């Protein structure tokens, strides 16, 4: 398995895919291995819901999210299958598909939207495709929900805070005509640092310690979550308000 970024010299200069292919981080490896053993289990789905109250410019919000995807290259990661662990690469550009659902004509629009949010969260990801989903749900002329769901391979609890905050900030900037959006820190920096550990003497010592410590494996500490637990955990979704269009 490659432990560093391997440069591909014959890539088309205008390709939408980065010429840099690199290995999974140590945490990604654990998540990937567990997920392929249970491909239909959504236990690694992460999500957040943003409540939007007031008038909303749908096109501008989607444009803001396109900028979020541009700024955070982890949202442009895609896996490359190999005979062993997969590699990954960062797409330079990526079609940003946002599904829009209108429940405003339903008398129980809030209940319909909530049901949709829960069902969407429970959908497992195809690891060979996009590792995030974004949807906009309209429940009235002045009330919306923005739902973002991603796989743990590209996000964590910190991401669930950063993505909606970035979306709200950029949406506000676009309303005011400000467009100062630089890329955020690259996920590749983290992978490079993580891989450096595996090339260190410290890793050799740590590996030997744990192999000796658990020569005989104990019972599993974490059991697979059932769908009921996942549904109850939806109440921990983060929400915040976007700046409405006046």
Distance CA 39, CA 127 (A): 9
Domains, the chain, with CATH or none: 21-195 (3.30.559.10)
C-alpha closest to that of 44 among 114, 116, 124: 124
**Average pLDDT of the residues in 139-161:** 92
Distance CA 144, CA 163 (A): 17
How confident is the model over 48-72, as pLDDT tens digits?
A: 999 999 999 999 999 999 999 999 9
Q: So what's the pLDDT on residue 15?
A: 43
Q: Tell me the whole-structure pTM to 2 decimals.
A: 0.79
Question: Does position 12 have pLDDT exceeding 90, yes or no?
Answer: no
**Average pLDDT of the residues in 159-177:** 90
Question: Does position 16 have pLDDT exceeding 60, yes or no?
Answer: no
**Exposed, middle or buried: residue 141 (CB in 10 Å: 0-12, 13-18, 19+)?**
exposed
Q: So what's the pLDDT on residue 224?
A: 52
Return the percentage of the chain with pLDDT > 70, whole number.
Answer: 80
Report the number of secondary-structure helices (H) and strands (E) in the chain. 7, 8
Categorize the per-residue pLDDT at 21 as very low, low, confident or very high, splitting at 50, 70 and 90.
confident
**Exposed, middle or buried: residue 34 (CB in 10 Å: 0-12, 13-18, 19+)?**
middle
Question: Does position 241 have pLDDT exceeding 70, yes or no?
Answer: no
């Amino acid at each position: 398995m490659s432990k560093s970024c391997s440069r591909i010299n014959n890539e088309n200069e205008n390709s939408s895919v980065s010429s840099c292919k690199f290995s999974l981080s140590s945490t990604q490896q654990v998540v990937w291995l567990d997920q392929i053993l249970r491909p239909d289990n959504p236990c690694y789905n992460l999500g957040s819901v943003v409540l939007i109250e007031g008038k909303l410019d749908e096109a501008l919000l989607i444009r803001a999210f396109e900028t979020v995807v541009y700024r955070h290259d982890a949202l442009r990661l895609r896996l490359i299958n190999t005979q062993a662990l997969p590699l990954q690469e960062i797409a330079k550009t990526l079609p940003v598909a946002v599904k829009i659902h209108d429940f405003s004509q339903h008398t129980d629009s809030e209940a319909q939207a909530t049901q949709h949010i829960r069902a969407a969260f429970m959908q497992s990801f195809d690891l060979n495709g996009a590792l995030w989903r974004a949807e906009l749900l309209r429940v009235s002329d002045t009330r919306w929900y923005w739902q973002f769901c991603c796989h743990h391979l590209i996000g964590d609890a910190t991401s669930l805070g950063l993505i909606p905050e970035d979306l709200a900030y950029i949406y506000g900037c676009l309303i005011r005509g400000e467009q100062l959006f630089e890329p955020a820190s690259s996920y590749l920096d983290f992978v490079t640092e993580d891989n450096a550990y595996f090339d260190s003497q410290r890793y050799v010592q740590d590996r030997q310690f744990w192999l000796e410590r658990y020569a005989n494996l104990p019972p599993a500490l974490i059991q697979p979550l059932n769908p009921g637990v996942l549904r109850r955990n939806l109440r921990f979704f983060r929400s915040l308000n976007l700046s409405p269009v006046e």
